[in-house]
């Protein structure tokens, strides 16, 4: 399912029945990812203040869209890739895509958990979970430290994630450093 493009980056090759629909970019611009994290922080903070299930649902939906296709389906992702990264950061640093997709999946778990907690009447618990999400997103946005990417690297080193998923990801110390 993965093919080697060069000696440092393995690119996912998907079955033809869904090629293009569920592709995640590899590599990705780290500054676009950081921009998306900044937008997530803003929406998550509003979610905590408003504390309504529908807003936690919007937060979770954004993660679903980014997990499904990177920035292709996500308004935050598109804004980050096409406007914020090129016009505000004016930098590009490519990093492997699989850890970023994993990090988006972790964000989906947190935001989805907050959505469910809020639906069943545990608003304070939802706020706490989203607060933890804000901490992780802030580290990504402000310092380029991607906790999901670091976890991905450790899982790969432990053999939970096969090496061929991301050959460039084998060095945990490189993740999230800008």
d(CA 12, CA 21): 13
Q: What percent of the chain has pLDDT over 90?
A: 68
Buried b (16+ CB within 10 A) or exposed e, 153-174: bebbeeeebeeebbbbbeebee
d(CA 2, CA 157): 18
CA 26 to chain centre: 13
Q: Cα dist. 22→73, 140, 149 in Å? A: 10, 24, 20
70-93: pLDDT as tens digits = 888 999 999 999 999 999 988 889
121-175: pLDDT as tens digits = 999 999 999 999 999 999 999 999 999 999 999 999 999 998 888 877 765 454 4
d(CA 99, CA 19): 20
Termini Cα distance of the chain: 30
Q: Is 139 helix (H, G, I), strand (E, B) or coil?
A: helix
Q: What is the mean pLDDT of the chain?
A: 86
The pLDDT value recorded for residue 27 is 86
d(CA 92, CA 1): 28
2-46: pLDDT as tens digits = 444 444 444 444 445 455 778 887 889 999 999 999 999 999 999
- pTM confidence score: 0.83
């Amino acid at each position: 399912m993965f093919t080697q493009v060069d000696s440092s980056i393995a690119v996912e090759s998907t079955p033809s029945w869904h090629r293009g629909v569920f592709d995640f970019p590899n590599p990705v611009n780290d500054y676009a990812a950081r921009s998306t994290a900044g937008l997530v922080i803003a929406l998550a903070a509003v979610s905590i203040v408003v504390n309504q299930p529908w807003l936690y649902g919007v937060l979770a939906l954004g993660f679903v869209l980014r997990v499904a296709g990177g920035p292709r389906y996500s308004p935050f992702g598109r804004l980050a890739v096409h406007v914020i990264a090129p016009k505000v950061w004016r930098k590009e640093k490519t990093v492997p895509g699989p850890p970023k997709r994993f990090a988006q999946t972790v964000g989906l778990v947190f935001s989805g958990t907050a959505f469910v907690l809020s639906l069943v009447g545990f608003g304070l618990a939802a706020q706490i979970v989203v607060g933890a999400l804000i901490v992780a997103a802030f580290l990504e946005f402000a310092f380029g430290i991607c906790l999901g990417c670091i976890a991905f690297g450790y899982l790969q080193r432990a053999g939970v994630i096969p090496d061929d998923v991301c050959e460039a990801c084998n060095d945990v110390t490189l993740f999230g450093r800008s």
